[in-house]
Amino acid sequence: MTGAAGLFGIEGLAPGAARPVQSYTYGAHPAQVCDLYLPDAAPEGDAGDVAPHRVAVLVHGGYWRARYDRSLSGMLVDDLLAAGWAVWSLDYRAVGSEGPSSGGGWPRTYDDVAAAADLLADAAAGHPLDLDRVVLVGHSAGGALALWLAGRHRLPAGAPGGPPRWRPAAVVAQAAVADLVVAADERYGDGAVLALMGGAGPRDNPLAYATANPAALLPLGVPTLVVTGDADDAVPHTASLAYAAAAAAAGDDVTLRVDEGADHFVHLLPGTPTWRATRQWMQARTS
């Protein structure tokens, strides 16, 4: 399932103006990189000393395709910095990328996302980052990866990514491809999930889907915001409804927000009520 807004409206998004304080690499491929942004003002602690920043970890979407990268989240970086957040914007090898150690897809994309998230612990050793107040924020396919990161501690030993070096305080799933089995069967993104999984469907490789699918890792054990729009023509809002219901039934603390008339890209635009409500929820969960 796709639409013009779903795969091509993304070209209308302008990059943010902020520049990273530092970029970190975790491999030889150009996509194996993370950018750290810090706000201008450092928060003060109770004794007047400098307190560490809360951190938003941004996981971009683009249906896991190599033509999209972390620049999709550029405007959110600016908005979060203005609100006093540090930002960790991660990238990963995606389907169709070429270069060192081959391209993305299962399991390499997941190995990358896990390594990129874990690298935040190294960044915190040299910068004022509060690893107890980290919120994962993922859009579209990035929403699936953010939810997977939040549930990674539930994976069996030896699974791609390994155990996490830190646990998030909360996770935000923006128009997320939250159930890979449903998305594969219904051919979201013109078969994007099948491409991610090397052409295998859920019945061809059930173990891989059970490991990669965020819906299979419930409960996550952290507060979760599931936000979508009922005019989304790239990832149907019913995917968010179903995931929120399943997460709540599993015992997770879930907030569901469905914005009337909102499309797939409203989540990436800071001036929209959808994003403002998302940031307010993030702040409330890390205050």
Residue in the structure block whose two tokens are 């999930």 = 193
Q: In Å, how far are 8, 97, 122, 125, 271 from 86, measured between CA atoms?
A: 30, 29, 15, 14, 19
Tell me which of 100-114, 196-210, 217-231 is least confident. Answer: 100-114
Average pLDDT on 166-187 reads 98
Tell me which of 70-74, 94-98, 232-236, 256-260 is least confident. Answer: 94-98
Residue 73's nearest CA partner among 199, 156, 174, 189 is 174
Residue 287 CA to residue 282 CA, distance in Å, equals 9
Q: In Å, how far are 135, 143, 151, 184 from 171, measured between CA atoms?
A: 5, 9, 10, 23
Is pLDDT above 90 for 243?
yes
Average pLDDT on 36-45 reads 78
Tell me which of 36-45, 112-121, 253-262 is least confident. Answer: 36-45
Token output for 137: 């924020």
Token output for 269: 């635009």
Is pLDDT above 60 for 197?
yes
